[in-house]
Amino acid sequence: MSSATDLYQQIILEHSRRPLHFGTLPDATHVCSADNPLCGDSFRVVLRVDGSIICEAAFEGAGCAISKASASLMCDAIIGQSTDDFEQRFRHFQATVTSAVDAPPLDHMGPLAAFSGLARFPARIKCAMLCWNAARSALNPYPSATDPVI
Amino acid sequence: MNRFIDNLRRQFPCLGIPVNGQRLAWLDTASTALKPDCVIDAIADYYRCCPANVHRGIHRLSEMATARYEASRQSVRKFINATSTDEIVFTSGTTESINIVAGSAGQHWLQAGDDVLISELEHHANIVPWQFLRDRLGIRLRSIPMDRQGDITPDALRQQLSPRTRLVALTAVSNAIGTELPLSELIPIAHAAGAKVLIDAAQAAACVPLDVQALDCDFLAFSGHKLFGPTGIGVLYGKAAWLDEMPPFKGGGDMIKSVTLEHTEFNDLPYKFEAGSPNIAGAIGLGRAIEFVNEIGFEAIMHHENRLTKTALQALSSIRGVTLVGTPTQRRNIISFTLDGVHPHDAGTLLDEDGVAIRAGHHCAQPLMQRFGLPGTIRASFSIYNNDEDIEQLVRSINRIIRIFE
Ligand SMILES: Cc1ncc(COP(=O)(O)O)c(C=O)c1O
């Protein structure tokens, strides 16, 4: 994938227009807001975690197509996963959107692979990571100093 | 005119370099202007021929550097029609200029309970320094609301003035929506109320002639980089009487006459405000940029920019899905708009793919965006080196984006 037009594939546009898991959870156990003051994007990510399993995930707020689609796809990808799985997916997604070379879309990334190619748009990486970072801080409010932060 | 513009365009090397394989349509002059060869050469020439410090060498190269540096100050003086070069302080830019006034004049003239008045159109550079002062001194910071079109009217100013208003700080042209404020009406009203007036001319400097004596403003700030000059250089104009009274802002070399370990005798104007080795190349580049503007002349600049802005306004307003943000009575070279269902940043990324450089976001004017209820806008701004092709490229790209998001 190379061009900006490629980036705005149907899947990203679809999820930005009609995001999945958009809203809140009455019995959320974890909450974190995600703001990018630079562009005014502002979301709230909520999770219901039972033991080590993320049973439900949702988000609400407003932002660009990239941030919204990323949040929608993230929620969809992490529901039913363990918090350890989340961490793995987080790292994988982060590597995908930040690697300078076009990372080959990996099978188990599923629809999240739509974001490979984002690395060519450094100004937009923050958008894609916004809700991922929020979900991660919700799960782990005191990350160790060595954790990479985008 | 077309030949004239083509000729000018050739003097901007950046316009000859494709972006994403496309011809570059630089519609982001309000953020920073492109630099012509003559400015780049003047800077390179200083570094090649006389890269010495100013005001402190008795050798030939320092004399040369000093002569060029001070010639630039003279160019700036003429450019804004100040009475004396004593009134021209070189700074790092508009932001520093306003901070100097807030930090020095503020400290000197203002006390708790006094009012500083800004407008709702201000850039963060003309908001945050006053908030610092509010927190430090307990002054009140008030703002003049704009009307629905995005204008600041004399009546709106009158309504916000109080007997405690000591300073009114206004932009000359809004960087976010293009409003040109009616300064020749506003400034006398502020003065009649006993307030001093600071003008943020960051946007105005490259698109309207400035005459500080005719305006009778007390302070005026602008940046070199929006005026075809380099970054890191700017100007603070202040009436000599005020600059004389004000304490220096920064301490160091060059701003002193004599120093003992206990006491410092400050230097004369304008050096009192220029502590440390200055941005010599920047000042020289700015001087050359001003000459460049003088060679073209504001008549031609305004004629061309008005025409382009009008053409773009017409073209944009005829696209379904485009909403103009702000419809000021007197607009300069800036148009802000939104695209239905498309976030400005998504539009920015796709415009960039088509070689169109615009600014997407809040334009460092968040209070203004909040008033419009928007996270941001798409902003196109026009300069002497833009042409109809740039506007066509913009319109084509916007239509393409609308199709993608349909
Ligand atoms: C109206 C206005 N004021 C102040 C500034 C700040 O200028 P600088 O960043 O050069 O200090 C800008 C620049 O964007 C501006 O447009």
Burial class (CB within 10 angstroms; exposed 0-12, middle 13-18, buried 19+) of B340: exposed
Nearest-atom index, ligand 1, CA of B231 = 10
d(CA B365, CA B381): 16
CATH number at residue A92: 3.90.1010.10
Select from B294, B311, B333 the last residue of a domain: B294
d(CA B342, CA B339): 5
| Helix locations, B147-269, DSSP H | 154-160, 183-192, 212-215, 240-245
Q: How far is A49 from chain B (nearest CA, A)?
A: 32
Q: Digits of tens for pLDDT over chain B (406 positions)? A: 789 999 999 999 999 999 999 999 999 999 999 999 999 999 999 999 999 999 877 899 999 999 999 999 999 999 999 999 999 999 999 999 999 999 998 889 999 999 999 999 999 999 999 999 999 999 999 999 999 999 999 999 999 999 999 999 999 999 999 999 999 999 999 999 999 999 999 999 999 999 999 999 999 999 999 999 999 999 999 999 999 999 999 888 888 888 888 888 888 999 999 999 999 999 999 999 999 999 999 999 999 999 999 999 999 999 999 999 999 999 999 999 999 999 999 999 999 999 999 999 889 998 998 899 998 999 999 999 999 999 999 999 999 999 999 8
The residue to which tokens 């961490």 are assigned: A87
Would you say residue A33 has pLDDT above 60? yes
Q: In this predicted complex, what is the ipTM?
A: 0.87
CB spacing of A124 vs B345 below 8 angstroms: yes
Name which residue sits closest to atom 7 of ligand 1, judged by CA. B94
Same domain, B18 and B118: no
Domain contains B14:
yes
List all residues whose CB is within 6 A of at least one atom of ligand 1.
B 93-95, 123, 125-126, 171, 175, 200, 202-203, 223, 225, 364
**Any chain A CB within 8 A of the CB of B259?**
no
Domain contains A144:
no
Same domain, B93 and B212: yes
Q: Which of residues 322-381 of B touch A (CB under 8 A)?
A: 341-346, 349-350, 352-353, 360-362, 369, 375-376
Whose CA is closest to B219, among B266, B273, B267? Answer: B273
Instruction: For chain A, report the end-to-end CA distance as a whole number of angstroms.
Output: 22
- For residues B362 and B375, the answer to whether their CB atoms sit within 8 Å is yes
Written as one letter, the residue type at A19 is P
CATH number at residue B67: 3.40.640.10
**Any chain B CB within 8 A of the CB of A10?**
no
Select from B294, B313, B348 the last residue of a domain: B294
Helix (H, G, I), strand (E, B) or coil at A99: coil
Same domain, B98 and B142: yes
Whose CA is closest to A101, among A114, A88, A80, A120? Answer: A120
Domain contains B145:
yes
User: Which residues pair with residue B237 across a beta bridge?
Assistant: B88, B220
Same domain, B199 and B301: no
Residue to substitute in B90, B94, B173 for testing ligand 1 pocket (most ligand atoms within 8 angstroms of CB): B94
d(CA A69, CA A51): 28
Q: Which of residues 121-150 of A touch B (CB under 8 A)?
A: 121, 123-124, 127
The confidence band for A96, taking pLDDT boundaries of 50, 70 and 90, is confident
Domain contains A123:
yes
Select from B294, B310, B341 the last residue of a domain: B294
Residues of A in Cβ contact (< 8 Å) with B362 = 39-40
Domain contains B35:
no
**Any chain A CB within 8 A of the CB of B399?**
no
Same domain, B116 and B22: no
Q: Which of residues 100-119 of A touch B (CB under 8 A)?
A: none
Tell me, what DSSP letter sits at residue A22?
B
Q: How far is B312 from chain A (nearest CA, A)?
A: 24
Chosen for mutation from A1, A5, A42, A70 (greatest number of chain B CBs closer than 10 Å) is A5
Same domain, B332 and B188: no
Domain contains A135:
yes
Domain contains A148:
no
b/e per residue, B134-153, with b = 16+ CB within 10 A? beeeebebbbbebeeebbbb
Domain contains B196:
yes
Tell me, what DSSP letter sits at residue B104?
I
CB spacing of A7 vs B349 below 8 angstroms: yes
Would you say residue A108 has pLDDT above 70? no
Of B345, B376, B404, nearest to A5 by CB-CB distance is B404
Q: Token pair for residue A108?
A: 């188990």
CATH number at residue B370: 3.90.1150.10
Domain count within chain B: 2
Burial class (CB within 10 angstroms; exposed 0-12, middle 13-18, buried 19+) of B116: buried
Report how far ligand 1's centroid is from the alpha carbon of A40 (Å).
Answer: 20
Domain contains B113:
yes
pLDDT number for residue B6: 96
**Any chain B CB within 8 A of the CB of A25?**
no
pLDDT number for residue A106: 55
Q: Token pair for residue B145?
A: 């609301």
What are the angstrom distances between the C-alpha of B2 and each of A10, B38, B293, B387?
A: 42, 21, 18, 8
Instruction: Please state the rounded mean pLDDT for residues A38-65.
Output: 94
Same domain, B235 and B140: yes
Nearest-atom index, ligand 1, CA of B173 = 1
Helix (H, G, I), strand (E, B) or coil at A72: helix
Same domain, B278 and B147: yes
Would you say residue A112 has pLDDT above 90? no
Helix (H, G, I), strand (E, B) or coil at B348: helix
d(CA A32, CA A85): 19
CB pairs under 8 A between A and B: 50
Same domain, B227 and B148: yes
**Any chain B CB within 8 A of the CB of A40?**
yes
Same domain, B185 and B92: yes
Domain contains B36:
no
pLDDT number for residue A6: 86
- Global pTM value: 0.93
pLDDT number for residue A102: 52
Residues of A in Cβ contact (< 8 Å) with B350 = 4-5, 8
The residue to which tokens 């609308």 are assigned: B402
Same domain, B185 and B198: yes
Domain count within chain A: 1
Q: Which domain holds residue A103?
A: 3-139
Q: Which domain holds residue B240?
A: 41-294
- For residues B117 and B165, the answer to whether their CB atoms sit within 8 Å is yes
The confidence band for A1, taking pLDDT boundaries of 50, 70 and 90, is very low
Same domain, B215 and B324: no
Domain contains A39:
yes
- For residues B181 and B203, the answer to whether their CB atoms sit within 8 Å is no
Domain contains A133:
yes
- For residues B313 and B332, the answer to whether their CB atoms sit within 8 Å is no
B364 included as an active-site residue? yes
